[in-house]
Structure 1
Amino acid sequence: MAQAAMFDYFYNNGGSQFLIAESMSQNAPLFNDTLLKKLHHSNLDVGAYSSSGDDAIRSITRFLLYHPVNEFEPFFESLGLKPSEFSGLVPCDKMVLNEDAFLLENYHVFWNYGIVCSPRILIGEMNVEVVKVIEMSQELGKCVWNLRHCFLFLRGIKMEAYEIGKVFRCHSHWLGVSRLKHTSTFLNTLKGGKKRLCQVIQENPEEMKKWTMGLRVEPLPGTGVVDVAGSMAKKIQFLLELGYKENSEEIEKALRCFRGRGSELRERFDFPLSLGLSEREAKDMDVLTQASDVLETKVNYLVNELGYPLSTLVAFPSCLKYTLGRMKLRFAMYYWLQDRGKADAKLAISTILEELKKTASLCV
């Protein structure tokens, strides 16, 4: 009953937060015993209310209202300190815990970190060793984040798993303290395809030091103006392999449409083939003019986010011609209509993307 009365007093009357009030009422046995002795000396017979626990709790609470206690004593005891240890920590000018906002703020910070709270830390007498542990934990967190970001970058450029392992085994000491730029922000600046990036990193992983936050990214060696002629030759050779005739109007038109390096065309062509599309569909102008990472993003959206099987792309390869933004808008409209019973739940992708206006008219 004493615990229940203490909780009621701290929580309902003292305004302490639930977890703090509960901890103070349950984890301060010495304070509770002292309180019961005071009740006994005040001629309040708690045992007389044994038949009605609620009456006893109300009586104890009423006694506390007229004989307020110093809330810092049960608070420090609930943290594991003995009265002899916290006597010097109890403030002389405060009795209510909520009056010390600094202490409560520190309490919640360390509670959220999962660290057992020490009163000396809470009142500002920070232990140097604790500070070192916290700083070390923060640095360790940054290191793990940087390594994860680097791993995702290497996976994003299609580097083989064993090659990634070699990079991490030999260079993790500086990869952990170096934060790479986001791939999308510097991939175009490097002016190299994913295969070229893999090759550069495998030859010299420390090249990635030039791609960290705060540094200006320079094009990869051999990807500047000097290599324009070679890149054009690769484009022409690739288009000839696809069936274009040399010096024809078709090949000239294709060369004007295809942007980027010649080596990137092979990546753009190989990616649709890996999905099961035919060569005729993979070499479509609308597909080849898109970067392979753009195509991959569209496929991930359809397959991983919306749950369509890859066979859907084979049946309707033209869906890759739509921009990702347009695809998301049309699917959002489709699901909106479906929720209102205005669209069939089994519409094909071709219907959703190409005939949305007809579908939207169902709600009129």
Structure 2
Amino acid sequence: MLIRGISNRFRRFKMISELHYVVCSPTVCKNACTGNGLSLLPVKSRSFCISEPTIRLQTGVVYAHQSQASVSGNRISRVVRTEAQTALFDYLHFTRGFHFTDAEYISKNSPHFVQNLLSVVDEEEDVSRALSKYFRYNPINEFEPFLESMGLNPSEFPSLLPKSLIFLGDDSLLLDNFHVLCGYGFPRIKMGKMYKEAKEIFGYDHGVLSSKLKVYEQLGLNKSTIVKLVTCCPLLLIGPIDSKFLAVLDKLKQFGFGNEWIGSYLSEKTTLNWDRMLDTMSFLVQVGYDDKQMEVLFTDNPALLFDGSGKQIYVLVGQLLKLGFKMNQIFDLFLKNPQILSSKCAKNLWTAVCFLFEIGMETERIASIVATHMEVLGSNSLKGPITVMNSLKIQQDDLRLAIQKDPLKLINLATKSDPKTIEHQDSNTFVERRNFLLRLGYIENSDELAKALKKFRGRGDQLQERFDCLVESGLDYNVVSSMIKRAPSVLNQTKDLLEKKIDCLQNRLGYPLEAVIAFPSYLCYDIQRINLRFSMYLWLLERGAAKPKLSLSTILACSDVRFVKYFVDVHPEGVSTWESLKNSLNSR
């Protein structure tokens, strides 16, 4: 009897699960129909689904409607939302047995699910108690908050939710492979893209995924690069290793690039086509570029490979051929102006060419302007000819003659940017500085690049010298790149000054070089301020009045008033010592 009772209860639970799937299925939600004007008494379903609008059942009619949460979502307070997240965490961790980290991450990173969860709670009810009671009698589809926490939108769920499962624990392979990726270093929020594009990854038998990742390590790639590569191209983990990918790596090695170089230019938004990248490299080799020239070309203009996988080169070649350029002239232009191969720069160039055609300029004259002013034409977006003529109140012939006489007039008169900001744009200094920033990973014609150009001072070779100084001091190339993006003014210091500050940090202050990674602005502070404040700090340390190894930012970034309060007034002799140190340093 006992066994029969357990069996009956199990069958009832299975029927409830199947009914929950039928009622809450995204397919049912999607195909729900309206009542065609019928006035029938609604019966509220106690089931719960958030991947589509919630369901209300009417006699013989199922129709979708906006949930209370979607309507009043903006009125949900932070406190209420936090209570709902806590209730979801308690359910996942204590009731369903999820690991603490998984339950916490899912509950805090599935806002749509939590918002819709609150639709079952009346305004006067206690959220925690109401949801705890709800979870006891209404199993939820655990795949929905799980997928949302991986970065997917609920609108993407219908094709991704399993057809016959609602409990994550029933798909042990999914969780196993998910944890393998987490342990390897893949950000959880980016796994949704991988799940969507290569779902097979999450269905591998135990140990298979780890062995596939190990294969890429054996190619000489570090974990950081593998994470970036697979995030961009999840299909790399499907089937045997891609031979085209291996060919790209071999080509890059042939040109002098290490395995990590490719990883420094990848982001989750990058889309790579290995075939097209190979074609681009082969095309450039066929026209006469040797390995050294290819290294220079890709170093100066990584967008050639990573922005459209090289597609832009073919489009640009075709456009220049239409202007009458010979192939050898085109290749010479590419070598002198590699940045022109980026999509936005090429678009700006062709917009300028169309502008000149529209005002009646001859093809030969246009080709001449392009050959001598390609850098400037590619770096600026232009207004239309009619807009320019109307604003200047001049005729087409007058505009054409002015540009023929001085091609830079085209930029001064037609650019969408402030002419003052591009007054010296054609100078070698500007070009070198811009190329240097592109090598650091800034995107061509982006707002970030424009802001950085205003912050950096000096020629491109000077900036490179200062950058190399930091690398030669013992910092990793990619680390220095990241530091410069966070604190651009670091490179406004001379090489001698940078060396002096690094020497002071290590040999006088006793801090490791890595301390500047967390606070690169240390290198921007005046050497006198550094010496004065750290002299006071070291004096306090000798007397046991200060904590050892305080961060650089704690000592340097605070205001003078705050520094005096916490580093001078804390000792009876502090004020006199502080004044003595200031007088000593000022007299030098």
TM-score under structure 2 length normalisation: 0.22
Asked which structure has the greater CA Rg, the reply is 1
